[in-house]
Every structure is written in structure tokens, then in C-alpha cells.
Amino acid sequence: MENILILQIIVGLCFTGIIIILFMESKDYLIYSLVFIFIVAISTYFLKPGSMDNKEDVILAIDWEVIVFLFCLFCIVEILNEQKIFHQFAIIIVNKFHGKPRLLFYILSIVSTLIATIIEDLSVAIIFIPIVIEACRKMKINPIPYMYGVTICINLASTLTPFGSAENIIIANRFNLDLHWHIIYLGIYFIFSLAITLFLLDRLILTKYLKEYNDEFDSSIPGYLDLKDLQSDNPKKIHLTTIEVPHSQQIKLIEVKSTKKILAIEIEKKAYKKNLVGLVIFIIILSTIRSIVVAGILGLMLFIFLNPIKIRNGKKEPSLSNYLHRIDAKLIYFFIILFLIVYFMELAELTIILENLIENLTQHNTFLLSIGILIISSLLSGLMDDAPITILFLPIIADIISTNQYISNPIFIAFTLGINLGGNFLPQGAACDMMTLELARKHKVKGFTYKNFVIVGGFFAIIHILLGIGYIYLYLLIF
């Protein structure tokens, strides 16, 4: 018993150390993670003899299907980024709707969110945020509301599909929650919460900046005179010179300003069309093939053959190695480390302690248990990176469902929502939020600060969680 307690302390400290090292950018977290895993493995071997006799269990603790799919997905995203497919989406939207800034806000937010249901939200932020900033500056409007629209809404994307984040892929693969399950059980929540979020962002943030934009836009039209300009306490005589411009000409000036392209990008049209078709085929593959390994490999092969690269003799040939050195392999290694550390936490019986604590706090009630999982996972994934929290909770959720008479769907809904919604509490809880802050700093966007993001993001995180609680309550009430 004493040995188990010592082992639990060592494993708990090492797990905490892995999370802390994530926020130390100057350190190589892979090296430190390997050190922590080595300490945990040695401690388990000596303090719990016999627990590691079967070496296969250590290997099987890693969800290799998820690892292979993430590898394929990262390669596909890199190919699409090289071809600037999603960049072109964003620029087409900006050029078409920049004359209608409110409509542009809604379309940019919705399109970026839908794209984030297919590819990782971090990639969406990297693509869309710089384009939003550049477009808004050419429109002479503050980019802040548009940046909030994209960043806050893409955190909702993973509630619609199992492919929008690595964490969602892990959850979906562990509990067999396919695309059909997400659309049926989370589709209504996604639509309703996205609509509420956009409405509140519009009323609370966008409207303020649009008023400034509209005043400046009106004053740029020849013949326009704002009566407020005549109100002055200055006793000096005001001289006015007005220019008579027909109303039809004013409308024409507005239309010319609205239809003028403000952004451009060089892209090979043939490659663009091929990859659009490939993207549609890939979505169909994800929708119809249940095995994520098969779907991932088929998708990767599809895009590799659609995008051959030039070799030395000038010919084009499909090449996977061209993209291997570009993907973020460290993230894949990190997930392997997390699977291993949680396996050792199971051996140290730490997950059982957490499971019993959650069940006792929620009085073995399905609704209270679901709400407890939703709130705890949201807070933890907001305070820390959501990847370790996801993998930590996997065995806990699995044990709760397998050993007790609980309805599984509300618990799956709560877990999926909790992991994905917590990122808006604090920026460090979601990589896309941190990337948006970094891009705001790089492009010198005044007013888009960490403090302001915590206030706005925290407000919407609370709204989303309250909506989640209400949604789970209605689900249990109806079903």
C-alpha cells in the first residue's frame, strides 16, 4: 500500500511536469517528456512488481490508429496549404463582400468554422487571421471583431465532426463516435450555439466598430453632408461649400468601391480546381469509411497523386517525402508520450481515484455526472493544454460507462463539448487562440490583447457551457 502511494505521487508529479513543460517555450518538451516517462517506467517497475511483465501492453497503450490518421491529416493539410486552397477561399470571400462589412463578418466566421470541422483549427487561424487583418486595413475598419469571430467560432467546429481537432479524433476513435453520431447528437447544438455566438459578437463588438466605419464611409461620398458637422459652439462663422452629386452617381460610387478587389493571390487555376474536387472526395471518404486509418491513407494518397512535384529532369512525380519534413511531427510524438503516461497512471490507480471522485461528487446521477464531466473537462482544458486532459479522461469515461448503469450518449456529449469549449476560457487552452494573439502582436493590432481575449473568450466559454448544460438536460428529458 505504501509503495502504491509513493508511485502515485511520482506519476502524478511527472504528469504535472509534462503539462508545465508545455508552457516553457524555451525548452524542448520532447526531451523532458521522455525523461518523465523514463522516471515513471522505472518507478512502476520497482514499486509495482509484475505490472510491466507483458511488454505488449505498453505498446498497445498507444492508439496507433489515431497516430497514423494524424500523420496522414497533417500531410494533407500541408499539401493544401502549399496549394493555397483555403487562402483562396478567404480571399474570394473578402473581395466579394468587403463592401458589406457586416455580411463579411458572418460569412468569414461561418466559412472558417466549417473549414475547421475538416482540418485542424490551428491551421485555420494561421490562414484566415492574416488575411482578415490585411483586408480590414484596406477597408479601413478595425479587424478586432473579425478576429474574435473567426477565433471564437472555430473552437465550436469540433463539436460538429470528429475530424476538427486531434483531441476529437482521439475521443471519436476510442468510443466509435463517427461523423453520423456527431451530426445527429451534436448538430443541433452546433447550429444553435454558432448562431447565438455570432449574434452576440455582432451586437456587443461588431456594431461599435461598424459605426465608426460607416461614418468614415459616408463622409468619403461627394455631396454627403452630416448634420452633426454643423453643430458647433464656436461663435465663428461657418462657411460651407457643397457639391451637388446626383443620387444615382452616389450609388454608382458606392458600388464601384464595393466591387473593387482589395486582395489578390497567385494560384494555378487547374491545380485549384483539382484540389477542390479532391477535397470533396476526401470528405466523402471520411463520411463513408469507418476506419480512420483506411480513410486517412486513402485521402493522403489522393492528394499526393493530385499534386505531383517537379523532379530534377523537369518531370512531375508524386512524392510523400517532400512533405514529411514540413509537418509538425513533434505533436505526434507528444501524443505518443501522453498515451504512455496515462497508461502508467492507470497502473498506479490514479485514474480510479479520479473516477470515484467524480462519481461521488455527482451522486451517481447521469445528468449531474454529465454536467460534472462537462465543467471539469472545460476548466482543465482551459487552464492547461487540452491534449493531456483528453487522454487522461479516456480511461475514466470508459470505466464509468462500462461498470455502471449510465446512459452513454449524454456523457459522450458532455466530454466532447467540455474538451472543445474550454479553449476559450484562457488562450493557453487552445493553440488557435495563442496563434491569433501571436499574429495580432506580429501585425500590431492595437486592442487585441491577452487581457481582452480572456474577458471576451471567457464570456463566450461560459455561454457555450451553459448552452451545453441546457442541451444535455433537454436530451435526457426527451430521450
Taking the C-alpha atoms of residue 378 and residue 460, their distance in angstroms, rounded to an integer, is 13
3-state class (DSSP) for residue 310:
strand
> Do 175 and 76 belong together in one domain?
yes
Taking the C-alpha atoms of residue 72 and residue 76, their distance in angstroms, rounded to an integer, is 6
Virtual torsion, Cα 337, 342, 348, 353, nearest 10 deg = 150
* pLDDT at position 246: 54
* pLDDT at position 259: 57
Lowest mean pLDDT among 39-43, 137-141, 342-346: 137-141
> Do 37 and 183 belong together in one domain?
no
Length of the chain: 479
> Do 225 and 345 belong together in one domain?
yes
| 11 assigned to some structural domain | yes
For 70-81, what is each residue's pLDDT tens digit?
899 889 988 988
> Do 93 and 35 belong together in one domain?
no
> Do 173 and 145 belong together in one domain?
yes
* pLDDT at position 216: 53
3-state class (DSSP) for residue 316:
strand
Quote the pTM value: 0.84
The residue ranking higher by pLDDT, 204 or 250, is 204
Q: Which of 11, 35, 53 is the last residue in one of the domains?
A: 53
Q: What is the DSSP letter of 205?
A: I
Q: What is the DSSP letter of 317?
A: E
Lowest mean pLDDT among 40-49, 179-188, 368-377, 395-404: 395-404
For 461-473, what is each residue's pLDDT tens digit?
999 999 999 999 9
Taking the C-alpha atoms of residue 119 and residue 130, their distance in angstroms, rounded to an integer, is 18
> Do 40 and 68 belong together in one domain?
no
Q: What residues does 26 pair with on adjacent strands?
A: none
| For residue 460, pLDDT beyond 90 | yes
- Cβ burial of 310 (10 Å; 0-12, 13-18, 19+) is exposed
Give percent above pLDDT 70 in the chain.
89
Residue type, 126: I
- Cβ burial of 130 (10 Å; 0-12, 13-18, 19+) is middle
Phi, psi of 267 (to 5 degrees): -150, 145
Longest dimension (CA), the chain: 96
For 395-453, what is each residue's pLDDT tens digit?
999 988 887 778 899 999 999 999 988 877 777 777 788 889 889 989 999 989 988 99
| 317 assigned to some structural domain | yes
> Do 26 and 131 belong together in one domain?
no
For 186-214, what is each residue's pLDDT tens digit?
999 999 999 999 999 999 999 988 876 66
The residue ranking higher by pLDDT, 380 or 226, is 380
| 234 assigned to some structural domain | no
3-state class (DSSP) for residue 41:
helix
Q: Which of 38, 53, 68 is the last residue in one of the domains?
A: 53
| For residue 28, pLDDT beyond 90 | no
* pLDDT at position 260: 66
Q: Provide the domain limits for residue 14.
A: 1-53
Residues 163 and 286: beta-carbon distance below 8 Å:
yes
* pLDDT at position 238: 44
Taking the C-alpha atoms of residue 251 and residue 86, their distance in angstroms, rounded to an integer, is 33
Q: How many domains does the chain have?
A: 2
Give percent above pLDDT 90 in the chain.
44
For 288-303, what is each residue's pLDDT tens digit?
998 899 999 999 999 9
Residue among 126, 94, 119, 87 nearest 108 (CA): 94
> Do 37 and 105 belong together in one domain?
no
313 band by pLDDT with thresholds 50, 70 and 90: confident
> Do 300 and 387 belong together in one domain?
yes
The upper half-sphere exposure of residue 269, i.e. CA atoms within 13 Å in the direction of its Cβ, equals 0
> Do 27 and 61 belong together in one domain?
no
* pLDDT at position 224: 46
For 268-277, what is each residue's pLDDT tens digit?
788 888 999 9
pLDDT (average), residues 307-329: 81
